[in-house]
Amino acid sequence: MGSFNATCIVSNLPIQARDPVRYLALTESKYHPPNKWSCYVHGRWQLRTVPLRAKYNDYGSVEDILPGLVEQVFFKSFDGDVVEKGVGDNQCHDVPVRKGMSQHKWLEALWEGRVFVGSQRPELKIDPEKLHEVLKRQDDARPKGIPTFARLEALLKKNDLPVTTKYGERGFVLDEVSPGFLRIRFGRSTGEMKPLEKLIPILVKAGYSAMLTCGTGHYPNEGEVLVAPRPMKEGEHHFTDGLSPQDDRNRPLGVSLAMIREDVWQALLNTKLDHWRYKNVSIDKFRTLANKLFCEDIVFTEKLERMEPMERLRAELDHQLAEDNFEAKDRNFLRDFLRPGSGVTGFSLKQAYELAKGIHKSTKEMEPFLNDLAETLYVEWVYGELHGQWHPTTNSGQDGNWRLHRDFLRKLDGIAQTQLEESERG
């Protein structure tokens, strides 16, 4: 596939190969789907975490990501709420999605539109050193007899059967049809029945229901093994409760990539705002408040650790009441911008900040994160005041067509000037 330009979601200007960008992960809102009216910047899509600083790779994604805590939080956040997927029908593009993937695989999955997350806010208190153990315990908590990726992979490997996620490689490919129901195919083409046939007795012996059948996806002539929970025995409770497809209110939410040109990002940062509640604000003010916020939280956390449980509970309540008091002197109003707003679901900037506090190793490591968090909150505010709404990036052709963009922007400038003059005349 040939190279192509991307499009900046704020300016609509082209993003060309090696252009510096901010790479955003956006989660769709379950409250305001794309066909529903919304007036908020995060009404249809919400910022999941602080954007990456990177360069456009000319193929729809990014490279040369700036290392640091922002990068760690961006990718680690998915380990809390991503909906895991096996290899889909198109084994080249329907890439697998699993917790703990490499950065390269996460970027590929985002580009292919394969990333979905739960609609509830995930638990953030995850020790990064024990993440694998936490995920294993979550899988072990599922009732026995219900197939999962981890259980079937372990079963196949125990029987010396190859499991693969690589395109065209010989081996067994796992994918989830619906919660608790998986399918197993073999290699790129499932015309070979013998590898699949020998799975049936292994799966049945392990306590699952299994059937060799024709394909369930876009290739119905190809064979696959469907794996389902075993039937109940007399006196057992229905252990498949909650495995049926979720209703629309709790449906998985898609995550999409978006990009903003770095020069456009800087233009937003250099836009000063005045607000009836927040006076004399600028990006420098936001940076100062972000560092102050972190210091306040560290002091408060250390104070809580020295308290008894009931005393700690009262202190936390008093702290929350102080945060909600808009008339309080020296109140850090940046907390208002970290609060979830209308349409905000799942993991968001508040959770990103909490995750960063949980995994940072030093104040020096935290400083760049706080700077970029302040920038992100400020840019979101400015973009909202400009009547913008977060939305995924689209692709453009290989030609930037700068003359056309210049002429169009000059026309917009004329329209804005006319509107200003009419407004000032009253």
Predicted confidence at residue 241, as pLDDT, reads 44
Q: Does position 145 have pLDDT exceeding 90, yes or no?
A: no
Residue with tokens 């290392």, as numbered in its chain? 67
Phi, psi of 370 (to 5 degrees): -60, -40
Residue 62, CA distances (Å) to 53, 75, 103, 380 in order: 9, 14, 11, 21
Average pLDDT rounded to a whole number, residues 87-94? 86
Neighbouring CB atoms inside 10 A of 193's CB total 11
Q: Does position 276 have pLDDT exceeding 80, yes or no?
A: no
Predicted confidence at residue 242, as pLDDT, reads 45
Q: Does position 303 have pLDDT exceeding 70, yes or no?
A: yes
* Lowest mean pLDDT across 30-39, 98-107, 361-370: 30-39
259 with 23: CB under 8 angstroms?
A: yes
Average pLDDT rounded to a whole number, residues 170-199? 83
Average pLDDT rounded to a whole number, residues 282-309? 89
**What CATH number was assigned to the domain covering residues 142-250?**
3.40.109
pLDDT digits (tens, 9 = 90+) for 369-380: 999 999 999 999
Select the highest-mean-pLDDT range: 179-188, 280-289, 313-322. Answer: 280-289
Give Cα 249 to chain centroid, integer Å. 18
Residue 59, CA distances (Å) to 4, 108, 207, 352, 394 in order: 6, 11, 45, 28, 12
Question: Where do you find CATH 3.40.109 in the chain?
Answer: 142-250
**DSSP characters for 25-73?**
EEEE-SSS-TTS---STTSSEEE-SPPEEEEE-SSSSEESPPPSHHHHH
Average pLDDT over the chain, rounded to whole? 85
The residue ranking higher by pLDDT, 69 or 240, is 69
- The structure tokens listed for 301 are 């956390």
Could you tell me what percent of the chain has a pLDDT over 70?
86
Predicted confidence at residue 128, as pLDDT, reads 46
Q: Does position 168 have pLDDT exceeding 80, yes or no?
A: no
Whole-angstrom distance, CA of residue 189 vs CA of residue 219: 10
Whole-angstrom distance, CA of residue 8 vs CA of residue 113: 18
Q: Does position 137 have pLDDT exceeding 60, yes or no?
A: no
